[in-house]
Structures are given as structure tokens and as C-alpha cells.
Amino acid sequence: MGPVDAPGATDEQVLDRARTEERVLLTFDKDFGDLVLRRGLGSSRGVVLFRLPMEKPAELARRIVAALRTRDDWSGHFSVVEPERIRMRRLAGEIA
């Protein structure tokens, strides 16, 4: 259940599905930082927040794929991908 197969799903529902399916959640929505870091709603595999300039879809997709390929330790972290850096914070109580 996500924006494609469940329009209108709440952020909590999206996070719960990522947890249930043991997936890393990829997002442009800063609200997930609040849910995961401040409210303690964990994600079993992690969350990657993209803070990249909105470009043509093909270029944005290329940047996202390139960033994801730079690491293999996304699991168990809340990560922020910016144009010039990647910041990662281990999620409390999460299994990497």
C-alpha cells in the first residue's frame, strides 16, 4: 500500500507496510523523519529521504540510483541524500 496502489494512505500506513514487507522506504517526504526519529515509529529496514533538486524525471531517477549504489548499509538507518553528501543516523532499536 503506497501512493501507487493505495492513494490516500497515511504516512503511518506507508511506514507500517515498509516494516511489514521489510523494505527500505525511499521518500521525498520530510514527515518520515519526524515519524521515525521523534515519534519512534521505526522501520525495520530504514528510511532514505531524498533532498535533491527536482529535475527532469530521467535525471532525477539517475541521481537516485547513483546515490543508492554508493552504499550497501541503508538498513537500520534514517538517511538523507543531498546533492553533495549523504547523512546517516542509526535508528534506535533497529536491526541492521
Confirm whether 17 is domain-assigned: no
Q: Of the candidates 63, 59, 60, 68, which has an alpha carbon nearest to the alpha carbon of residue 26?
A: 68
Confidence at residue 6, expressed as pLDDT on a 0 to 100 scale = 67
Confidence at residue 62, expressed as pLDDT on a 0 to 100 scale = 93
Beta strand residue intervals within 1-96, DSSP E: 25-27, 47-50, 77-81, 86-90
Confirm whether 51 is domain-assigned: yes
Domain that holds residue 75: 23-36+45-83
Confidence at residue 86, expressed as pLDDT on a 0 to 100 scale = 96
Per-residue pLDDT of the chain (96 residues; tens, 9 = 90+): 444 566 788 888 888 888 889 899 999 999 888 888 776 666 568 899 999 988 899 999 999 999 999 999 999 899 999 999 999 999 876 554
Q: Report how many domains make up the chain.
A: 1
